[in-house]
Amino acid sequence: MRSQLAPKNRKSKLQLIHQYYSYTGFYNFIWDNIKKSILPFILIIGGLILIDRFVIDFNSFFAYITENYSAISIFSLFFTSESLLGLIPPELFIAWVKTLPTPFLNLSLLALLSYLGGCVSYFIGRGILSIPKVSHYLESKMAKHIINIRKWGGFLIIVGALLPIPFSMVSIASGIISFSFKRYLMYGLFRFLRFYLYALAIFSLMS
Using CB atoms within 10 Å of the CB of residue 129, give its burial: 0 to 12 exposed, 13 to 18 middle, 19+ buried: middle
**How far is the C-alpha of 143 from the C-alpha of 68, rounded, in Å?**
42
Residue 178: which residues within 8 A CB-CB, separation 6 or more?
126, 129
| C-beta neighbour count of 43 within 10 angstroms | 10
Amino acid letter at 190?
F
Answer yes or no: are the C-beta atoms of 128 and 136 closer than 8 Å. no
Using CB atoms within 10 Å of the CB of residue 207, give its burial: 0 to 12 exposed, 13 to 18 middle, 19+ buried: exposed
Query: Is the pTM of the predicted complex or chain greater than 0.85?
Result: no
pLDDT tens digits for the chain (207 residues)? 455 545 555 566 777 777 777 777 777 777 776 776 677 667 766 776 776 677 666 677 777 788 888 899 999 999 999 998 778 888 889 989 988 889 999 999 999 999 999 999 999 988 887 777 776 766 676 777 778 778 887 888 998 898 877 788 889 889 988 899 999 999 999 999 999 998 998 888 766
Task: Kindly state the helix (H) or strand (E) to which residue 69 belongs, with its residue range.
Answer: none
Instruction: Map out the domains of the chain as residue ranges.
Output: 27-206
> What's the chain's length in residues?
207
